[in-house]
Structure formats: structure tokens, C-alpha cells
Amino acid sequence: MKKIMIFSGTTEGRILASKLCDGGINTDVCVASDYGRDMMESNPYMSVHTGRMDALEMTEFMKAKGYGWEDIIIDATHPYATEVTNNIKTAAGICGSEYIRVVRDRDKTPDGMLNSYPSVEECSAAFAGSEGNILITTGSKELSLFCSKLSEETLKRCFVRVLPTETSLLACREAGIDQSNIIAMHGPFSRELNKAIIKQYDIKHLVTKESGAAGGYEEKIQACLELGIMAHVIERPSAEKGISLNKAYDHILDSIGYKPGLKIWLCGYGPGNPDLNTNELKQIINKAEVIFGSKRLLENIKHDNKYDKYLAKDIIPVLKNNSGYVNAVVLFSGDSGFCSGAKKAYSELSSEFPDAVISILPGISAVSVLAARCHESYEDAVIYSLHGKNDANALYYLLELIRYNRKVFTLVSDASDICRLSRLMLDNGIDCDMTVGRNLSYENEEIISLKAKEAVDYSAEGSLTLFLKNEAYLKEPVIRVLRDEQFLRGSIPMTKECIRHESIIRLKLKKGEVMYDVGGGTGSVSIEAAYTDLSVSVYTFERKEEAVLLIEENIKRLKLPNVKVIEGIAPFTFEALPLPDCVFVGGSGGQLKDIIAYLNLRKKGIRYVINSVSLETLKESTELMEEYGAKEIMINQIAVNNLELKGGYHMFMAQNPVFIISFVL
């Protein structure tokens, strides 16, 4: 296989070396200093040589490594290191190796307060007679040349930002920079950090090289424009020619006949501000050939190939039409493990690209940010997402969480969710403390404390997260039951509470299941089953209009959104509804056989509970169990006698004995 050597003095060099080594390609890397060596990621496929070399030393080093006509030398040194570039060209030519120069795209300089200079000397000369402090961000290599042209008075106003290395600090001292004027920091430097430094040192002039996106050029210029100070730019050598990092990478792969496998990263981006990104995410983004995500997340990312897409169905065609992509990144707001599209994307992308390596990277969630802002823990809190859930069930479910928990964090779609929740809380006698986190992590972040009565008309744009603290929360019942007196009855027969409780126990309801109640009556069984857990969906079927109206009134009275009344004769009213996991039959109207036949044809494993006061229904039920081969059969007769006061005496009043029949088909 061809040998690859990279002379690295830039971010591009580090990225290219890392991409090749991550693909299992042995790569020799040359850096000038210990700092450059320390910046390289450790990799078993990478061999790093440290130290500056002239053309002769480079030639001898390449020959010692066995480089010849079939090998590739990559020059990814700094755009201004023209002497080093000439030395690399000379050495590669002597060895007969292919020489490739990696260059940065030219900077797009915005209009504003900016002066350009063709050389360091001309830039330095421009400060004669200037006023105000000067920030020099061109590095330490040509610092002495720049400072030698300045007057003693001007030199005292110069602040220098350099790498925190012994070589850089020595260069500052040799250039005559006062020790208190040295800012020794390692980048990258964001626009905000540049602005902070400018303000801290009362800078009026900033000196930079046209160093490209990887050198933080745009962040410097934007900071100058926003603060209204002058930027002085030393232009890049105009004769520089070469190819981009991505083209160099593709060329190397083509030359060695290597076809790397696709890697897809599903990454939590945090609440939005890139300052909250993990270092691991930043490294992954730097390696990516393509990045997907929402417009809000992509706006802070500089990349040639980024797409405003985050659904797998939209991402798949892009990846298929660009088979050269090796590292693809999909960004999701917040944390990849909470209310994130990462789970669905993982399933769909895994199915479409079975040979791809798909990894999930966590991020900082808006919940953790809001908890920190409120000085609250969330280890003892309930976390729920209302985002994108417009149905009443979700809102009522959240209400129950607030009722029975001291602390609840929730993501909301927009301000209307907060308004709807506040009204529902007030309707149910809850007015706890509410904290709204708006645009968390951004410059316009806002933390607002409200009561529910104040939040009914809340209006705000942006990303919203909600924290509710209910000091008057209730202890949640272990077993949730309703009493007979909680129902309106009228003249409609009702399944009494002892029979009702036992019947619901026999249904063995589980979270998220669907239940049918045939012959709803007052709706007591349906409503109590729905009351046990709001995730259960209950459909109650009733043929009598009077009973339908009574059930609807009881649903409204007990405020349960997960019960729906269907008027008509079962099983003819089952069509188009989700099939049940369990069925209660309180009154079949003579249709029990048809009900069983209809459901058994469409789904197996349904749990049935039938109440019967007659031997005829008991007989029909046992015949159907035998016909269909029922399992888990249990039949009991329960007689309930309630103690009542009659004419001054306490007497037990008997109810009709009821057969409770349960089985699975």
C-alpha cells in the first residue's frame, strides 16, 4: 500500500490525519513543536515526528521512511508558512513522491471597519500615529518582525494573544512585549470570547491574518464589527494553490483503492448554544463530511455540506446519492435519550444501511439546564414531554403527575401548551409554582416565575421548558378506585363497587392498553378502569340513548379524557376502532356469541370478563369457552350484603348474586 506523510501545522492537517487513521490507514505525521504533537489525537495507525526540518532534513527523513515515486506527501502547513511549503515541495520532488497542497478556502470578508495589507511590515507601519490599544492575534512566529517597526510608545499599547507554550512566551519577550500584555490561551475562540477579550483590554485595533474558518478568522472580524473597532488583516499569499481537505482525502482513498465504511453519529446537540456542546461532539463535527439537523442547530456550524434535515426518510436519499461520505452526523436538540428523534432515526438508518456503524452521542438536555438555573435537582423529579402531543390525554396525564409529585419538568411545544395546562390546573384546584425557561443557553435566555393563574395568558416565542413545583402535592393511592356515590345513576342499572372492583382486577389492565366495555350502563366500569391509569384507552358501547348521555355526563363529572362512548349495538360498532387487549361485558343484549366470534377472528390473547346474574348467560359463556378453547378460566359467584339503617335498625341488605366469569381467548 502507498505510504502517506502529512506535514501538519493547521486544523486541516489534524483532521485529515485523524480521518485517515480512523479508517485504519497508516499515516506518518510531521509537526514542528511539542504543542503540535500534543494536539494530535492518539491513534495506533499514526506515527508522529516532532521537530522543524529544512529541505535536506526532510529529504533524509522521507528516504529513511522508504518514500518513493508511488507514495504521497501532503502539505497541510499554515498558509503563511511559505518557506516550509517550498522545503516540502523540494524534498517530495527529490524522492519522486506525489506532492499535494491542502489549502483553505479564501475568507469572505464582510464590509465594515477593515484594512488589508500585503505583508507584516506594511501592516506594522500603519500603526504610526495610531491611538488606542492593539490586539495582535497573528501568532508568535513573525511577532518580532511586526514589533520591530513599532515605536516604544506603540509597543506599550500592544497586547498579544499566543499559544500557552514556552516558545511563544519566549517570542513575546524577545519582541519586547510586556509580560502583563501577554494573553496565553488555546483556542478555538468564539465570537463572544473575542468580544470579551476586546472589552477586557479596551482594544481599539485587532491584527489578524486571513487565516480561514479553521483559524477563527470570521469570529474575529464579527467581534470587531459588533464592537465597532478596526480590524487590520494581513492578506494570504496570493500565489497559494492546492486542493481542499475533502478533495485531498478523496484523492488519497482513490489512490490506494480504499473504500471506508459509513459511520453515522446521532448526536444530542444540547439546548442550542454551541458553548454547551461536548468536546467529543466538536471533534466529531470536525471529522464529518456531511451534517444534518434543524435550521436552528445548523446556523452556528460552519461546514460545506450541511442539510436542514433530521428525519431518516430525508437523510437516507442524501447518503445514498453521495457514496463517498464516510462520517455523517445527525444533530438532535437537547439530549439524544430524551424526547429525541434519535431512537427512530437509529432504527430506520440501521435498516437502510446494515453495514454502517451507527453511534449515539448524548448531549445536555434543556431539563438539566433549567434545573441548574432554578438551583434544583431532578433526581427526585418526574420528567415528561408534552412537546408535539396535542391530545387531551397527554395534558391530563401531565396534570396527574403534577397532582401527585412535588417536582415536574416538562418540554412544551409552545406557549399555548402552558396556557392550556394552566387552565386545566386551575379547573382542578392546583395553583403551584411554575418556572418557564425560554431560549435556554442563548443570549436572550429568560427565566420567568409564575403561578398558574398568571400563566393562563402567557405568550412568548422561542424554545420553552417548564418546571412545576407543587408543595401541596398529594400522595398517590396504591390502588385507584371510585365509590358508587361518585357516579350519577338515574334509572340506569349500575355495576356496584364490590363487583366492579373485582371485575377490573380480573381484566389485568396494563399501561397503554385498549379496553372495551360492552353494555356501558352508567359507565361505572369504563370510567373506573380509565381512572386506574390515564394511559389506558377505554371504549364503552351502549345502545340506549339515555344511558349514553348519562355516561358522557359521568365522564365530564370525573374529568377523564381517556374514555370514549360509542352509541349502537356491539359488535357492529367495533369497526374502525383499535382492537382491544381486554373486554368487559356487563350486558351484551343477546349478542355475546357474535361479539366473541368477531373479536376472536381478528385478535388472539384477549382477556374477557363477563358479569352475569342469570344462569342462561352463565351457560352461554361456558359453552363459548369450550368452543374456542379458553384458557385461564375462573368463575365465581359473589353475593354482597351492605349494612344499612332501616327504621332505627342496622340491617344487611342483599344485592343480587353476580357470576364473574373470566378467561382468555
User: Over the stretch 315-347, which tens digit does the pLDDT of each residue have?
Assistant: 999 988 876 677 899 999 889 888 888 999 999
- pTM > 0.85: no
- Minimum mean pLDDT range among 14-18, 119-123, 447-451, 641-645: 641-645
Looking at the chain, the whole-number percentage of residues with pLDDT higher than 90 is 47
Residue 409 predicted with pLDDT over 70: yes
CA distance 383 to 412: 12
For 258, which DSSP code?
-
Is residue 605 very low, low, confident or very high in pLDDT (cuts 50, 70, 90)? very high
Average pLDDT, the chain: 88
CA distance 545 to 13: 78
- Residue 501 confidence (pLDDT): 92
Taking the alpha carbons at both ends of the chain, their separation in whole angstroms is 66
How many CB atoms are closer than 10 A to CB 323? 9
User: Over the stretch 103-159, which tens digit does the pLDDT of each residue have?
Assistant: 866 555 555 568 888 888 999 998 988 899 999 998 888 899 999 888 989 999 999
CA distance 544 to 566: 11
- Residue 112 confidence (pLDDT): 57
The mean per-residue pLDDT over the stretch 16-28 comes to 86
The mean per-residue pLDDT over the stretch 389-394 comes to 80
In the chain, the domains with their CATH numbers are: 4-101 (3.40.50.720), 114-234 (3.40.50.20), 259-364 (3.40.1010.10), 377-469 (3.30.950.10), 484-664 (3.40.50.150)
- Minimum mean pLDDT range among 281-285, 422-426, 488-492: 488-492
The mean per-residue pLDDT over the stretch 289-304 comes to 87
The mean per-residue pLDDT over the stretch 4-23 comes to 86
- Minimum mean pLDDT range among 23-32, 90-99, 486-495, 539-548: 486-495
User: Over the stretch 501-521, which tens digit does the pLDDT of each residue have?
Assistant: 999 999 999 999 999 999 888
Beta-carbon contacts of 367 under 8 Å, excluding residues fewer than 6 positions away, are: 334, 338, 378, 383, 409, 411, 465
CA distance 221 to 387: 38
Beta-carbon contacts of 173 under 8 Å, excluding residues fewer than 6 positions away, are: 179
The mean per-residue pLDDT over the stretch 373-396 comes to 88
Is residue 361 very low, low, confident or very high in pLDDT (cuts 50, 70, 90)? very high
Residue 17 predicted with pLDDT over 60: yes
Is residue 525 very low, low, confident or very high in pLDDT (cuts 50, 70, 90)? very high
Residues forming a β-bridge with 645: 650
Residue 571 CA from chain centroid, whole number: 45
- Residue 255 confidence (pLDDT): 86
How many CB atoms are closer than 10 A to CB 538? 29
CA distance 413 to 393: 16
- Minimum mean pLDDT range among 184-193, 251-260, 494-503: 251-260
- Residue 205 confidence (pLDDT): 94
Residue 241 predicted with pLDDT over 80: no
- Phi, psi angle pair for 116, to nearest 5°: -115, 150
Beta-carbon contacts of 382 under 8 Å, excluding residues fewer than 6 positions away, are: 401, 405, 407, 408, 409
Contact 302, 213 (CB under 8 A): yes
CA atoms within a 13 Å half-sphere pointing along the CA-CB vector of 164: 7
Q: Which residue has the cell 369450550?
A: 626
User: Over the stretch 152-200, which tens digit does the pLDDT of each residue have?
Assistant: 899 999 999 998 888 889 999 999 999 999 999 887 788 899 999 999 9
- Residue 214 confidence (pLDDT): 60
